């Protein structure tokens, strides 16, 4: 069991890091859009 875990863990990091990077980019994009929507009325106010 431990050998299987170690074997799996040694194969994970590259794909895991790539997946996390993609999710972070998506989350950041969504967050920026939300913040822009939230703050745009205040910026447009006289």
Q: What is the pLDDT of residue 14?
A: 76
Q: Tens digits of per-residue pLDDT, 1-46?
A: 566 556 555 565 678 888 899 999 999 999 999 999 888 877 666 5
Q: Which residue has the tokens 């590259």?
A: 14
- The tokens for 3 are 């050998």
CA distances from 13 to 2, 5, 6, 17, 24 (A): 17, 13, 12, 6, 16
Q: What is the pLDDT of residue 12?
A: 59
Q: pTM (2 decimals)?
A: 0.48
């Amino acid at each position: 069991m431990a050998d299987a875990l170690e074997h799996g863990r040694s194969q994970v990091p590259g794909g895991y890091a790539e997946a996390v990077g993609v999710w972070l980019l998506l989350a950041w994009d969504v967050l920026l859009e939300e913040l822009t929507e939230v703050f745009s009325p205040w910026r447009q106010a006289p």
